[in-house]
Structure 1
Amino acid sequence: MKLSARIMLISLSALTFAALSGSAAAETEWQKQHPRRAEVNHRLDHQDKRINRERKEGEINKQQARELHQQDRAIRQQERADARQNHGHITKQEQKTLNQEENTVSKEIGK
């Protein structure tokens, strides 16, 4: 391998490593300590944005958006209640149940 190609490969590898390290550092301490809750809440945040986008684009009406947001709020409340029962964490089974509930709401968005 030529020297210039080797230098380019090393530089590219270093940049990739730096980019990946930066995104890992962006993870908060709370997310590190509560990965299941972080995943559930990330999905809820994403669904909230999808509901708002669908409402803005006219795919769903105001009442539908309100009901979808209400369902998501109920899921978030359940996630918090589950966590209170387990010292701030949720179990794998609780995460699975919450994800199934999120899947149901997700299918209703943009029908």
Structure 2
Amino acid sequence: MFNHKALLFSLMAAAAGTIATASTAQAGEWAANHPRRVEVNSRLANQNNRIHREVKDGQMSKGEAQTLHHDDRQIRQEERDMASQDNSHITRTDQHALNQQENQVSRQIGQ
């Protein structure tokens, strides 16, 4: 005997799963370009360029640069960890904490 209710339930469950997957993908794309994440990561890229310029100009040793790059990588990893806990975005509190860490590294560049 054919069970129409079971078939209907299966089809509805499959459709719901498809919709959930599609909306998660869209949310992930949006969150990856979230303004707070973009701002934090842009600052990290800018600091990376400043470090490279200082090494090239002879204002910073490669050892000093390596230490600062390591600090920036740790900040970037922390940003990723924070984003993974909040549906691919960071909160204002997260951004503030990351900016404070970036400020500490930034002050060491150009001394």
Distance 1:32 1:67 in 2: 27
Distance 1:31 1:53 in 2: 31
1:54–1:60 contact (8 Å) kept in structure 2: yes
Q: TM-score, normalised by structure 1?
A: 0.71
Q: CA deviation at 1:101?
A: 0.2
Aligned to 1:109: 109
Task: State the Cα deviation string for residues 64-89 of structure 1 (Å, max 9, x = none).
Answer: 00000000000000000000000001
Per the alignment, in what secondary structure is the counterpart of residue 89 of structure 2?
coil
Q: CA deviation at 1:32?
A: 8.3
Q: TM-score, normalised by structure 2?
A: 0.71
How large is the Cα RMSD of the aligned pairs?
A: 1.6
Larger radius of gyration: 2
Aligned to 2:73: 73
Give the counterpart letter for 1:49 in structure 2: N
- Flag as ranges the 4+ runs of structure 1 deviating above 2 A: 29-33
Is there any run of 5+ residues in structure 1 with no aligned partner, and where? 1-28
**Taking structure 1 as reference, are residues 33 and 49 closer, same or farther at Cα in structure 2, changes over 3 Å only?**
closer
Percent sequence identity is 53
1:43-54 equivalences in 2 (<5 Å): 43-54=43-54
